[in-house]
Amino acid sequence: MGVLIKLPGDNTQFASIYDNLISIQKRPWSDGEITTYTWITSCTMNIWKSEEDYTNKKDPCGRYNVFVTTDEQPVDVYTILYDEYKNSIHSYEDKF
């Protein structure tokens, strides 16, 4: 699972969570009377120069931290994290 990043000049890179850990934290917030919770989901995306480098298990050329805050416990964490990452890039193509 990953994202093909389309860069200007017909260049591409490939990003994937790969084997990185995904963290989900439940944080309380209180106004003195009512306590509610915020969920913070995070991971590090690895970035390769090409999808071929990813497939051949070469070292990534970069990393990008992704954080998502929600009011409810996340259900599909991969989708949430990939969607947030895709919001930060110019153009992409999903690769599943």
What pLDDT, in 10s, does the model give residues 9-23? 778 889 999 889 999
- Are 92 and 45 a contacting pair, CB within 8 Å? no
What's the pTM value of the predicted model, to 2 decimals?
0.83
pLDDT < 50 stretches in the chain: none
For 49-76, give the DSSP string.
Answer: SSHHHHHTTPPPSEEEEEEEEESS--S-
Q: Say how far apart CA 46 and CA 28 lie, in whole Å.
A: 30
Beta strands in the chain (DSSP E): 2-7, 11-16, 23-30, 35-48, 62-70, 92-95
User: What does the pLDDT read at residue 92?
Assistant: 67
- The residue whose two tokens read 């998502």 is 68
